[in-house]
Amino acid sequence: MNGVDAASVLYGLEAINANNGWAISVVGITIVFTGLVALSVLISQIHKLVALYDNPGKIKKLFVSRSESVARAGTPKAHLDLTEAQKQVCRQYNLLAQTMDDVISLPKLLRMAELSGLNDPHANMNLLIKSGILCADEQGYFRWDEDIFIRTIS
């Protein structure tokens, strides 16, 4: 038999035993099953990836820290270029604000503006907030930012 001693050739279970066949098959089965389990876990989570794809807001939510969201909630401080008429409005509201305490109640300021006959009090109040002249504190009241006011009207 091509130089091989026929007596040394093993078949069946003897051959498996002699060549670590059992160990090899156990390792093979383990690898295959581990792969299948990993694949099934991956597939079971695909709906979450699809949900993230459908709703990118969730991704943002994962990465936006609380501190960033608090900062985002703050009144914008960007310097706005106002027209001369808008600057005049700011000066009028400054006079009203001076009659109030350090902390300003926005509804009260709005009411005073209405009673004083100022034009478009709601829109102008919004202008003051957007410009950062009126900024919210954490107690539900607002403060008149003198620095921004001076910078804005100058």
**Site residues for other proteins per CB under 8 A:** 51, 54-55, 57-58, 61, 69-70, 72-73, 105-108, 110, 120-123, 125-126, 129-130, 136, 138-142
Least distance between other proteins and beta carbon 95 (Å): 20
d(CA 36, CA 105): 64
In the bound complex, what is the minimum distance in angstroms from residue 148's beta carbon to other proteins? 16
Q: How many CB atoms lie within 10 A of CB 16?
A: 15
Give 33 or 53: the residue with its C-beta nearer to other proteins.
53
Residue with smaller CB distance to other proteins, 16 or 110: 110
Q: What is the rounded distance in angstroms from the CA atom of residue 108 to the CA atom of residue 146?
A: 19
Closest to other proteins by CB, 12 vs 140, is 140
Q: Are 85 and 147 in contact (CB under 8 A)?
A: no
Residue 14, both tokens? 């003897």
Give me the least distance between CB of 111 and other proteins, in Å please: 10
> Least Å distance between CB 18 and other proteins?
58
On whether the CB atoms of residues 16 and 22 are closer than 8 A, the answer is yes
- Contacting residues for 127 by C-beta, under 8 A, at least 6 apart: 80, 82, 86, 89, 90
The secondary element (H helix, E strand) that includes residue 136 is strand 134-136
Choose between 5 and 102: whose C-beta lies nearer to other proteins: 102
User: What's the min distance (Å) between Cβ of 17 and other proteins?
Assistant: 56
